[in-house]
Structure 1
Amino acid sequence: MTDHRDNPFPGLRPFEPEEDYLFFGRETQTRELLRRLRRTRFLAVVGTSGSGKSSLVKAGMLPALHGGMMSGAGGHWRVAVMRPGGDPIAALATALASPQVLGSSQEGARGGADADPGDQQAIAIQTSILRTTLRRGTRGLVDAVTEQHLPSTDRLLLVVDQFEELFRFRDDGASDSDAVVGENATAFVRLLLAAARAPATSTEQGGGASIYIVITMRSDFLGDCAQFRDLPEAINEGQYLIPRLTRDERRKAITGPIAIAGASIEARLVRRLLNDVGDNPDQLPILQHALMRTWDQAIVEQQAATLDLADYEAIGGMADALNRHAEKVYAELADDHARELTARLFKALTELDEHNRSRRRPCRMDELCRVTDETPEDQLSALREGLKAVAGQLSPAETGPFSQSLLLAIQGTTNAGQLYALREGLEVVAGQFSPTEAGPFAKSLLLAIQGTTQSWQLSVLGEGLKAVARQLSPAEAKSATQAMTQAIGWAKDSMQRWQFRQSLMILVDKLQASAETTLLLFEILKNPVLDPDLETSSLATLRKHLADPASPEPGVWALVALAKKRYPEIDLSSRAYLAPSIALRGISEADKGHMDQALALLAEAQDLDPDLAVPADVLDALCHSGALHRRASDVLAFCNKAVELSPENGSFRDHRGLARALTGKTEKAILDFSAYLDWGKKTGQPEQALDQRREWIAELAADRNPFTPPVLAGLREQQD
C-alpha cells in the first residue's frame, strides 16, 4: 500500500488543528471569524457540504486563538470539540471532561486505551458529574464551568461540529416545517444559548471564564433551526456564511502545502487544477483528494521532486480520481472471490434514482445473504468492516429494520467470530436511534437476553443494550428501568443479571424526579442481587432527586416518608456517595499545588464517609504532591498509609522518604531511599534516578539538606 506519512494533503477528511501549517488560502476568512467572535459569543459557521467549514474552524480559527490573535481575549483558551450524535448532552460532558478542558490535569489522564485504570475511572467520574450538572437546567453549562473556579484570564470555547446532526432524529410522520426533535436536542440548544448569553462565570476570587460557542452547519439545514426557540435569532446575530475562495486563494491552497513538504508543482498543473475546480465550493474535498493522489503518484511512486500534469492525468484528474482510487482498493482485495462478493454487495447497497443519481439502498441481512449467495459465516466475515460503515450511515427510517436483522443474526449463531463482527455493527446502529425509537429496540434486546444463556450472545446483546440505553429519553428510560428491574428478579443466569445491571447503571442516571421513579429506585435498592456499583448509582440518583425541592413533582415528599417506612434500611440522609468524587477533586487540586483546597476536600470526603477506602496510588499521589509543595507534615500520614497498603512499591517508599526528609526524619528518610534503590535495581529504573537517590542519602547522612528550593522546583517540573 502507498505510504501517506509525508503527504501534505488530507484527502476527503477535514484538516485538523495540528495541520494548520498546511492550511492555506483561508487567512482572510480566519481573520473574519475572529473579528465576529469578538463581537458575539455565539458564532454559526455555515456553508454548503464540502465548503470547508470544519477545516476553517479547526485548522484556521483554533490555532489563531491559541496564538493570541484575537485581540483583547488573550491566548489561554480551553477548547472542547464535539459532534452532537444521538445524545448531545452526553457528548458535551465527554468533551468537557477532557484533561485539556475541565477534567483532571494529571499526567496520563488520557482516557484512551493506554490510560491507567485509575485515570480512566477519574475521567469517567468527571464525565458523570458533568453530565449530571448539564442536565440540571438551562444554566447547566454555565454551572459546570463556574464550579471549576477557572482564572479570569481563561476562555472556554465549545466547538459543535456538524450541528445538523441534531436534525437527523425526526418523526418520520412530521412535515419538514414541524419536524420533531428529541428532548435532549432541545435541552442541548438551551445550554448553548444560555452559556453564550451569560456574563463571565464568577468565582470566589471575583473573576471568571467567558464561554464562547461556535457551531458548524450545512446551509441547507438553516430552516430547521426554527424548531428551537431563540436559535434563529442567535444565528442571525452571529452567522458567517463561508464565501467561495478566490482564484488566488485556491492557488495558495494548492501550492502552499507542497512547498511546505519540500516539493514543487509545475505552473501548467496549477492552471489545470484551478480550471477543473472552477467556482464550485463543493469541489474542495475532491480537489484535496486529487492532490493527495497526485502527490502519491509523483513523489512516492515516481520518486520525483515535482508534481506535473502527467501525474495528475495518471490518477484520472478531478473527474475520475475517486473512481480510480476505489478501483485500486478493489483490485487489492484478497482474491477473485472477495472481489466478486464486494461487487455484489455494493450493487445491492446502491441504486440509481429517476435522475440517474446513485443513492444508498439499505438491505436486510437475509436479503444480502440471498444476493451474495454466501453462507452466513462467509458473508459475515466479508461484511465485518463494511457493516460498521453502513450502520453509521443509516437514516432513522432504515435503522429499525436493519437493527432487527442484526438481532436475528446474533440469535442465530454461536460462532464467536460472527458475533464479534455483528457486535460492532450493533453498537454503531444502536447509537443511531432517536430517543423515541430506542425504546422498542431496548425491549427487543431485553427479551433476547432473557432468551439465551450462551455467554458470547449475552456479551454482544449486553453491549447493544448499553448503547441503546444511552439513547433513551427520560420517559423511555423509566419504562426500561421498570422492565429491567423485573428482569433481574426473573433471571436465573448470573451473566444475564450482570448484563441487566450494567444497563441499569446507565438508565438510573437518566431518570427524572417523580413519585413513580422514587418508588422505582427503592425497588432497585431492595433487590437481593444488587451489586455495589448499581447501588451507588441508584442512591446518587435518588438523593439528587430528593435534594432539590423544586425538582420532584407534587406528592413525592409524602411518598418519601412512606418509602422510609417500607425500606428503613436505606439511609437517605447520608452523603457518603459523594466522598469518592470529592477525594478525586482533592487529588486534582494537589497536583495543581493548591494544597489548602486539596486537604480541605480530603477532610470533607473523610467526614462524609469515615470508612472511605482511598486506593494506595491516590494516597501516594497526595503524599508526593504535598511534599513537593512544602506541605510534607500535612501529608505524611497519607504517605504512611500508602506504604502500609503497598509495602513492596518502591516508588511509594521514595515519596515517603522525601516527606520524611522535609520533616526532619532523616534516618527514616535514608531507609526509604535505600529501599527505593533496592527496588529500582530489580525493576530496571533509570540509572540517573538511582544516582540521584544515592546523592540524597549521602547528603542526609552528612546532616545536610539536599532538598533546596531549586531542587524541589526541578522535581515539581519532572512531576508535571
Structure 2
Amino acid sequence: MTDNSPRPGEAPRQVGGTAAAGARVVVEAGRIDRSQIGDHNVQISYQIGVGTFADRPGAPPLISVSGDIDSPYRGLRAFEEVDAPFFFGRDQDSEQVLRLLAGRLESPRLLMVSGASGAGKSSLIRAGVLPLLRAQGLTGLRSARTWPCQLLTPSPAPMEELALRVATLAGTDAATCRRSLAEDPAALSMMARQAALAHTAAAPDHDRTAPPPRLLLVVDQFEQLFTRCRDEAQRQAFIAALHAAATRPAGAAGTAAALVVLVIRSDFEARATDYPQLIDAVRERHLLTPMSELELRTAITEPARRAHAEVHTALVDTLMEKISPHTLDTAQDPTDARAPAARGAGLLPLLSHALDNAWRRRADDTLLTLNDYTLTGGLESAVADSAQHAYDLLTPTQQTTARHVFLHLTATDENGNDTAAPTTRNDLLTATGPARAEHVPAVLEAFAGQRLLTLAPDSVEISHEALLNAWPLLRDTWLADTHTDRILRTRLRAATGQWQRNNRDPAYLYRGSLLQAAGETAARIADDPHHHPALTHTEAAFLHASTRASTRATRLRQSFIAALMALVVGLAAVTVFALRAREEASRQRDVAVARQLMAQSGELRDSQPDLSKLKALAAWRIHHSDETRHALLEAAASPGIGPLTGHKGKVSSVAFSSDGTTLASGSYDGAVRLF
C-alpha cells in the first residue's frame, strides 16, 4: 500500500475506482492515507491532484466508495472541481471567464466575478472554470493546464492566511513570507512567481519551452474581507498584495506572476470601490446573471441523466415556474431583508437542495417525479423543512444547544446584515457552555446529515447563507431576538481575534464606550444563558484584560489628577508665600526710606524748615505710621521762612488779609502778588 495523502493546503484528491459492473467512477477524498477496498469489492486508488489547492476540505463526494452516485445534486454546498461532470447550466459563463483570464495575460489586471448570493459563483469557478482550464489551458497557451491554483477565502487575518498558502506552494517559510508581506505587500508578486515555478517544475509533463508559469489565485467570497476582517490596515495590505501579484512584473520574463480572480457578492461592489486598486475590476467585472430557461432546464435534468435517471417533465415545468427570474411573488416584499431568499439566481441553492432531497426520497431509481419533489415541501420549504426536521429529532437539551450553535455560526455586520461565520470546534464547544458541550457533536451530525452544515476536522460552517433566510425558526426567533447583541458579539469576536493575533497587545483592548457596551452584552449573556451562546475563553479573557486595563488606567488617571491637584496647591502656596514675602520686603524698604526722610527732616528743621517739611511729608506718603505722622506734625509746627517768588524788583511791602489766610506783597516794579 502507498501513502498518497494530499499535501498541506492541497485540494481533496480524486479517487478512481472500478465498480463490479465495470463502470468508471470518480470519488473525492478529503484525506486518505492508503488504498482501500470499498463495498462490492470496489478497489479505491488515490491519485495526486492536478494542482488545485484549497484552504479547507471539500464537500463529501457525490459518488460513494460503493461506486453508486449518492446524489447528482449538491444541495446547499458549492460544486467542487471533482464534481464537474454534474455541473451544468453555466457553460457560457465558464468560457467567458476563461477568455477574460486569457486577456489578463497581455493586459495584467484583477478579474472580478460578481453575482447575487446563491447565483453559483463558487461553483462556477470550482466546477466550471477550473476543469475547463485543466482541459484546454488558456487561449494560445496550453501549458496553463498545469499552472497551480490556490483557492482562498478571506479570514479575520487575511495577510497571515495569504502568506501561509503561498509559502506552502513555494516551499518556503510562512513566517518569513509574513514578515516580507508586512514590510511590503507588493512582495507577493515575487512569492507567487516562486510558487508557480516550484510547482510546475515538479510536474512530469512540464513544458520547459513554454512561457513562465503563473499562479492562479482565486479569492472566493471576497466580501468576507469586509465582514470578517476588522483591521483596515490588513484589508488595504491584502488588496495591495493581490493587485501587485496581478499587475507587477516579476522575474526575468517581465510578466505578472499571478492571475487573480476575486469572487464577490454583488451587494459588496460599492464597498470594493472604496479601494482604488479595485475600481477597474468592479467596472470590468463579469456579472453572473440568472440562468436562461434553457440553462435552468439543463441544470435540472442533466445531473440526473449522468446518474442514469430522468426528471419528469411535470417536475421540470413546476420548477421553471417557481424559479424563473421573471416571476415574482407579489405577496412578498422584495425589499424585506428577512423575507425568504430572493428570486432568480438567489434561488439556485434552494433549487439544488430541493432536488437533492427529492432524489434521496425518490420512489423510482430511474425517475425523479413531481410527487418526489412535493414530498420535500417544495422549493421555498425544502431548506426550512430539512432544518426543522433535523431540529425536531433532537432532544430538548440538544434543541437548546442547536440554538447556541447557529447563533455562534452567524455574524452581523455594522449594517445589521446577517452572514455565515465559520468557527472552530473548540470555540463552538466553549460558546455552548460546559452543560451543553457534550451535545454539540450530535447537533452537528444531525444538521450535517441534512447537508445544512459543513464539517471539517477543526471547523464548522453553515453550508449556505440561504439557510439564514429560509428557516423561520432561525430567522424570526433566534436571530431576531438577539439582533443587537449579535452585532456587538461580531465586533467582539473580531476584536478578540485581532488582539490574539498580535500577541495580546494591550493596544488592541476595548476602552470607553466600546468596553461598556461589550460589558453590558456579556452581562446579558451571563444572565440568560438559555438564549445566548456563552463567550469563548478567548473572548472572556479579552474582556477581562480590557476591564483590568481600564481599571488600571482609571486608577492611574485618578492618581495623576490627585498629584496634579497637590502640585497646584503647592504652587499656589509657594506663590502666596512669595507674594507675601515681596510685600514684606517692600514694606521694610518703605519703612527704611521713611525713617531716613524723617531723620533728614529733623536735621533740616532749623536751617531749612521748608525742605524739612517736604521730607516729612514725603516720609508720611511713603509709609503711614505713627512715627511719620509725628514727624510731619513736628515739621509743620516749626516756624519756617518761605521765599516769595515772582517779583522782578525788590519787595517793598507785605500785608496779611484780615482772616490771616492771604498774604499780599508789593515790589518796586509796581506789581502786587497774592500768596
TM-score normalised by length of structure 2: 0.48
Rg larger in structure? 2
The structure whose residues are more often helix, as a share, is 1
